[in-house]
Amino acid sequence: MIDVNLMGCFNLIKAALPLIKCDRDSRGPGSIAIMSSQAGQVGIYGYTAYSASKFGVRGLAEALQQEVIAGRYPCVPHIPSGKTPGLEQENKLRPELTKIIAGSWHDESEDVAKKAINGIKSGRFIIPCNFEGFLLSIAIWFVPTDIISHGI
C-alpha cells in the first residue's frame, strides 16, 4: 500500500514536476491533484495500511504546497468508497466492524468524480467529496484526535 499509494504519487510528481514547470507562462497556473481518501483523514479500524498510506499522501501534498513554485496548486480530494466492483470484493474480506464504520461512505462514483473535479478547478487544497468527508475535514482541524477516536 505504501509503495503504490504514497511512493507512486511521489515518483509520479517527481517525474512530472519539471515538465509542469516548463512553459508555465503560456499555460498559466495549474493543479496537481493527489488523490486521498476519507480513510486518510482519520484512522479507521480495518484500514491500518490503507489509512497510513493515505495520511502520507496528504503529508506529501502539504509539503509540496510549501515547496513548489507559485502557480502550482496541490490539492487533495478525499474520496469516499465508490459503488464499484472493487468495493464488492473488499466487502467480502473486511471485518464486520469496518463494514459498520464505513457503511455510509459509498457514493456514486460519477458524483464523487464531479465533486473532485470541481474542487480541483476551485483551487482548494482539501476537497471533501461528500457530507461525511466535509464533516471529517472540519473535525480533524478543530477536534482533538482522542475525541474523534473515542467518541467522547
Please report where in the chains the cell 459503488 appears, as a residue. 83
Report the alpha-carbon angle 6-11-120, nearest 5: 70
For the packed helices 48-67 and 8-21, what is the interaxial angle rounded to 10 degrees?
20
Residue 126 is inside which H or E element, if any?
Answer: strand 126-128
Pick the catalytic residue from 47, 51, 53, 54.
54
73 belongs to the catalytic site: no
DSSP 45: T
50 belongs to the catalytic site: yes
Q: How far is CA 56 from CA 6, 43, 45, 87, 133, in A?
A: 6, 12, 17, 22, 18
Pick the catalytic residue from 36, 37, 51, 81.
36
Closest CA to 139 of 41, 14, 2, 6: 41
Pick the catalytic residue from 47, 50, 51, 73.
50
Residues involved in catalysis: 36, 50, 54
